[in-house]
Every structure is written in structure tokens, then in C-alpha cells.
Chains A and B, each alone.
Chain A
Amino acid sequence: EPEVTQTPSHQVTQMGQEVILRCVPISNHLYFYWYRQILGQKVEFLVSFYNNEISEKSEIFDDQFSVERPDGSNFTLKIRSTKLEDSAMYFCASSRLTGREQYFGPGTRLTVT
């Protein structure tokens, strides 16, 4: 069964450093998403991406965040200058149709020290 994969599983970085989180969505999916989950809290939407451009973004997704689909398989989330409050689980998701049946990856745990 196809699944979304994410690397790394855990990333530790110092405040102010740049991080890139990587995702490989399900191959025939066209819509891609990033969400985050702070420990013990609900999952929060960050950004959606379709046809090589951002479709929608939340207030969390400020100028420090960017997304890219550098090739036909990878989907990345970059945080330019990490802050302590960026520490969270980051989930990538993909879907064949917009918004529907979004399948999530296992997540990357980002720890900012």
C-alpha cells in the first residue's frame, strides 16, 4: 500500500538555524500539505500546495517558512531561522483530490534548542 514518507524522523537544531524537512507524497497524488502538532495539542494546518504553488497558508506559515517541490517526488518544508516555539511534530500529507482523503506521513519531530 502506498504511503507518505518523511525524513528525518527527528531533527535537533539550534535556534536561528535553518532546517529542511523532507517528504515523499504518494505518487499519484496532486495535492500536498504540511501540518504541525505541538506536543499534546491538536494538529494544525500550515500550508497546502498544488500545481507548483501555494494554494492556502495559515497564520503560522509566515515569512520564515517556505515550501518547494524540487523534483517529481519530493516536497520540502524549510524554516529559515528556527525559534524555540517551532519545536513540534511536522506532518506531511497528500491527497488525490483537494482536501479529501488526506494521507499523512509518520512525521518529523523538530526540536529547537
Chain B
Amino acid sequence: GESVGLHLPTLSVQEGDNSIINCAYSNSASDYFIWYKQESGKGPQFIIDIRSNMDKRQGQRVTVLLNKTVKHLSLQIAATQPGDSAVYFCAEKGTQGGKLIFGQGTELSVKP
């Protein structure tokens, strides 16, 4: 079946360092992926997306890498700031319709 999972449940980084959050997906037919940030008590906030015909996409301080060979997705955050502390979810667009299939989430903690 379709599933998306994350390698690590928690990640702690020093302020100013780069963060890398990983995600594995199982459906090789998935054609679209999104990273969301969720702060405590709030809804998922769209960060960046990538289509399966791309390997890399950059945004402001964030980069998403897609490795279709090993079905792996990563989110890189440059110069991590305290405001980046949150749970990060990768989500995969299901092959049926528009539903998103979410992974378990990685909690990022930024130490000052």
C-alpha cells in the first residue's frame, strides 16, 4: 500500500547550523511531495513542494531533494533559527485523487 515514513522522530541542532530532515516513501508511482511545518497547536504550514520530474528545488533557506532511486526525500534548512523549531512532515500525493499521505513527523529542536 501507499505509505510515507520518517527516519528520525527528533532532531536537535545548534542555532546557525544546517538541518537535514529525512523521509522515505514507498510508492514509486507518487509524482508530488510536500514538506509541512507544524508548530504546537497550529495547522500544517506549507514549506516547499517538489514534483517527481525534479531532483532538487530551492526556496528561501530551504532545499528539498528527491532521490527516486531509493525513494527518499529530504528537507535541508540553512542557518537554522529558533523559529524553525517545530514538527516537520513530509507528505506524498496519493496516486488516487488529491489526498496527501503524511509521514509520522520529525520534531526539530534548535538550541540557542
A-side interface residues toward B, CB under 8 Å? 4, 31, 33, 35, 41-45, 48, 50, 55-56, 58, 91, 95, 98-107
Chain B residues numbered 72-112 whose CB sits less than 8 Å from any CB in chain A: 89, 91, 93-94, 96-105
Contact B43 A102 (CB under 8 A): no
Query: Which 5 pairs show the lowest CB-CB distances between chains A and B?
Result: A99-B98, A56-B97, A104-B43, A98-B98, A45-B99
Q: What would 10 A/B residue contacts be, using CB atoms closer than 8 Å?
A: A33-B100, A42-B105, A43-B102, A44-B102, A45-B99, A48-B97, A91-B43, A98-B98, A99-B32, A107-B43
Contact B89 A33 (CB under 8 A): no
B interface, size bucket: 20 to 34
Contact A102 B97 (CB under 8 A): no
Q: Counting CB contacts under 8 A, is B61 at the interface?
A: no
Known: A42-B89, A42-B105, A43-B89. Is A99-B43 also a contact (CB below 8 A)? no
Question: Given the complex, which residues of A lie within 8 Å of B105, measured CB to CB?
Answer: 42
Contact A33 B42 (CB under 8 A): no
